[in-house]
Structure 1
Amino acid sequence: MATLTPQVPHPATFADKAAFALGFILFEGKMRALFSLLFGASMLLFIDRAEEAARDGDRLQIRRLLWLGLFGYLHFLLLWWGDILFTYALAGLAALPFRHAPPRRLAAGALAIFACWHLLIGGGGLPETWREHRVIAGTASPADAARYDKAEAIVASKTAAEMASYHQGFAAQIAGKLRDQAAEPLSSALGSMGETLPLMLLGMALLRSGFFSGGWPDGALRRLARTGIAAGGTLTLLILAWAWSGGFPPVRMMLIVSAVAALPHLLMALAYAATLVRAAPRLARTALGARLVATGRMAFTNYIACTLVMTFIFYGWGLDLVGKVPPRQQPLYVLGGWAAMLAWSKPWLARYRQGPLEWLWRSLTERRRQPFRR
């Protein structure tokens, strides 16, 4: 619940709400969308390179995605509930049959799926959101108020049980997941397929259109960046005002994150992508750019390493800080994570060809040990 509202597990101060709002404006949904676009593009890059070497790119990609699914499930089971690798493996397999579609048709189909999925979710969530609104406003019927209070009590009980599980040791957490949440990665993947799959398809269309490789005119990229930030940012601020006015209530926040904010998320992610494409040639020649390149080349290793470090800091088998760091202090941990990734990735790649998990993933996909040391 704390991913949806700053009011969990403790009532939020103004600074907590402001920190949560900043993350909502700049990052929530936008980074996930950007990563999904890039994953779709990377699938095609992998296949193209395999086929240039006269190999079966589709078969290698399927094998690669199946291994990614296993890594994702182990990531969920051993470390963190919020894994996205299993979802990406499943969505990648679903996207693969469409890789030969023309870019315009692929983009149109992706946007249609994206719109229909979120409209259905939004429509389905409106009755409960309206009921919550009436309860907060004090205009709900006694029956609706009682129903809402009962739902809130269930959420509070689940949150307390979840917090208790995080305070447990390593083995106890794994046992609890196997007992109570063994199918969670699959249900999460299916529950987010209408977002992840179309974004991957859109990333494939962008790659084929030359978006990532200088094929778009600079003016088109500038217009996309400006329009996406202006329109997406305005919508995001309006949605944030609606959320803040109710104190970030849980049902409303669930509807916002799952459906209402989908369009501004996509608009801002595309704007970010266009901005980065324009900046990349110059940025890559700088010292910071070199470190960003190295960090990106080790994205898999850095993703899992981030989980390992942060769960050690917050879970019971480590420093046990879960529930003790308010939202206003959490950006410090984010900055620390960024600094660590930028600091170690470049020196590592000076000695090794790729990150350790990238090497393992590729070796398993290729079914032979790949070169590792330089």
Structure 2
Amino acid sequence: MAQPKSDRFASIDTLRGLAVLGILMMNVQAFAMVFAAYTWPPAHMDLTGANETVWLIGNVFFHMKFITIFSALFGAGIILMLGEDKTANLGVHYRRMAWLLVIGLVHAWVFWFGDILVPYAIMGMLVVLARRMKPMGLTIMGSIFIVIAGLLMWLNFYFMQYMPPEQLQQWMTPTPEMVAETEQVYRESFMARLPANASLTAIAEIAQITGFAPRLAGVMFLGMALYKWGFLTLRWSFAAYLGTAVVMLGIGLPVTWWAAHHHLETGFAVDQMWIGETINYFTSLMIAFGYAALIMLVCKLGFLNLLLKPLAAVGRMAFTNYLTHTLVMTFIFVGTPGLGLFGTVERVGQFQIVVAVWIAQLIISPLWLSWFRFGPMEWVWRSLTYWKLQPMLKRKGSEAPPPTPA
């Protein structure tokens, strides 16, 4: 059976590492607080002073930015693994996506409703069919999908203000009694909160597949285009990367900052939510592109590569590190056998936990890869895909392992 290609790009690994770490900054809220607090921050715990500042930083610099980068790299990874040859073995790709789907379903229904692997696997089965398109065609198609998803999101937030009060409380503005009930369930034990997690998983997966999936697909198409244009492989000039970063961040960050302050100034009024969310939906694309250009710029400098190696190692183990986030956060916030701190750690404390995880993964990932060719879950996924145990231990002088398509 054919094995995957062995080409690696340090620039892509580094960008992937940044993305998987950045995603945790937003995901931690969905582990530590009630579901509604992710979208409507006043739903749970304090939102003043330093906690407000943490929310503001998260919303402006992280919200939807790093998942966008991760999605683009997933699309680029499909071409990197398969190439553009029409004779490529698509069976291997579909097996890879099928196992990703299985792992994602277990992750979502047993551990955490916020799983993103399931829609990634489903979209990965579809976007692969466009891998031979020209970059401009991929860009146009991706933009159409993104606009469609943006329209669906806008409609959702705009008409939320017309929901019956009972329905709005259920999904957006829970009462203190509802919050207390959720806290009790999550603090009790891992098993006790499974029904609640299952309920949220069903809702989340339906919403992802029907509403968010077009954006995922659209960004994957853009990632394919960026790979073909050489953006992700350092083929652009220093000036081009610098100009892209200045323009994208120079426009995206101030506009997103205004949108975040609009949320704060209106007290997160439900009838005003659509304004900030719609702005962030589109500016997040600009900011993600700007972040990516900055990373490419730093990689192109060359002399900073040593400093980027830990980040690249995190990227090579992105699958393992992403799932490790769930294990660590579940242990911290869910009850027995965990610590059961759900609803007790405010946003400042959540940020401190995230930084601790970042530091740990930046240390552990390169140490692990100094001995092994793959991260643990990368090895499992690859072995399942090829129906053969992949060589795990690193041999002296051996080639770099094949790339990860995520």
Q: Normalization by structure 2: what TM-score?
A: 0.80
Following superposition, the deviation at residue 177 of structure 1 comes to: 4.1
What does residue 27 of structure 1 align with?
Answer: 62
1:74 has 2:92 as partner: no
Work out whether residues 6 and 327 of structure 1, in 8 Å CA contact, stay in contact via their aligned partners in 2: no
1:371 has 2:391 as partner: yes
CA distance in 2 between partners of 1:250 and 1:242 (Å)? 12
Q: What letter matches 2:206 in structure 1?
A: S
Share of identical aligned residues, percent?
30
Label 1:283 to 1:236 Cα distance change in 2 as closer, same or farther (>3 A): farther
CA distance in 1 between partners of 2:368 and 2:130 (Å)? 36
Q: 216, 221, 243: which is aligned to 1:201?
A: 221
Work out whether residues 30 and 269 of structure 1, in 8 Å CA contact, stay in contact via their aligned partners in 2: yes
Unaligned runs of 5+ in 1: 132-143
Q: What letter matches 1:353 in structure 2?
A: R
What does residue 90 of structure 1 align with?
Answer: 122
CA distance in 2 between partners of 1:255 and 1:238 (Å)? 11
What does residue 293 of structure 2 align with?
Answer: 274
Map of 1:178-257 to 2, 5 A cutoff?
178=198, 180-181=199-200, 183-184=202-203, 186-190=205-209, 191-249=211-269, 252-253=272-273, 256-257=276-277
Segment drifting more, 275-284 vs 229-238: 275-284
What does residue 174 of structure 2 align with?
Answer: 156
Following superposition, the deviation at residue 159 of structure 1 comes to: 4.3
Q: 116, 120, 125: which is aligned to 2:148?
A: 116
CA distance in 1 between partners of 2:223 and 2:261 (Å)? 31
Map of 1:272-351 to 2, 5 A cutoff?
272-282=291-301, 286-317=305-336, 318-351=338-371
Label 1:67 to 1:254 Cα distance change in 2 as closer, same or farther (>3 A): farther
Work out whether residues 114 and 195 of structure 1, in 8 Å CA contact, stay in contact via their aligned partners in 2: yes
Segment drifting more, 265-274 vs 168-177: 168-177
Work out whether residues 122 and 260 of structure 1, in 8 Å CA contact, stay in contact via their aligned partners in 2: no
Following superposition, the deviation at residue 116 of structure 1 comes to: 2.9
Label 1:282 to 1:166 Cα distance change in 2 as closer, same or farther (>3 A): farther
Work out whether residues 76 and 224 of structure 2, in 8 Å CA contact, stay in contact via their aligned partners in 1: yes
What RMSD over aligned residues (CA atoms) do the two structures have, in Å?
A: 2.5
Following superposition, the deviation at residue 44 of structure 1 comes to: 1.1
Following superposition, the deviation at residue 5 of structure 1 comes to: 3.5
Following superposition, the deviation at residue 346 of structure 1 comes to: 1.0
Work out whether residues 297 and 354 of structure 1, in 8 Å CA contact, stay in contact via their aligned partners in 2: yes
CA distance in 2 between partners of 1:253 and 1:296 (Å)? 34
SS of residue in 2 equivalent to 1:170: coil
What does residue 138 of structure 1 align with?
Answer: none
Following superposition, the deviation at residue 331 of structure 1 comes to: 1.2
Q: What letter matches 1:84 in structure 2?
A: I
CA distance in 1 between partners of 2:140 and 2:167 (Å)? 43
CA distance in 2 between partners of 1:121 and 1:6 (Å)? 18
SS of residue in 1 equivalent to 2:132: coil
Following superposition, the deviation at residue 253 of structure 1 comes to: 4.0
Following superposition, the deviation at residue 281 of structure 1 comes to: 3.9
Q: 15, 27, 37: which is aligned to 1:2?
A: 37
CA distance in 1 between partners of 2:303 and 2:341 (Å)? 37
SS of residue in 1 equivalent to 2:391: coil
CA distance in 2 between partners of 1:238 and 1:64 (Å)? 42
Work out whether residues 135 and 226 of structure 2, in 8 Å CA contact, stay in contact via their aligned partners in 1: yes
SS of residue in 2 equivalent to 1:171: coil
Work out whether residues 65 and 93 of structure 1, in 8 Å CA contact, stay in contact via their aligned partners in 2: yes
SS of residue in 1 equivalent to 2:90: helix
Following superposition, the deviation at residue 322 of structure 1 comes to: 1.0
Q: What letter matches 2:290 in structure 1?
A: A
CA distance in 1 between partners of 2:165 and 2:384 (Å)? 50
Cα deviation 1:314-353 (Å, max 9, x = unaligned):
1112111111111122211110010110111111111111
What does residue 3 of structure 2 align with?
Answer: none
Unaligned runs of 5+ in 2: 1-35, 395-406
Greater RCO structure (CA 8 Å; 6+ sep) = 2
Following superposition, the deviation at residue 120 of structure 1 comes to: 4.0
Label 1:277 to 1:218 Cα distance change in 2 as closer, same or farther (>3 A): same
Q: What letter matches 2:62 in structure 1?
A: F
Higher CA-based Rg: 1
Label 1:167 to 1:55 Cα distance change in 2 as closer, same or farther (>3 A): farther
SS of residue in 2 equivalent to 1:262: helix
Q: What letter matches 1:276 in structure 2?
A: I
Following superposition, the deviation at residue 250 of structure 1 comes to: 5.0
CA distance in 2 between partners of 1:286 and 1:216 (Å)? 18
What does residue 137 of structure 1 align with?
Answer: none
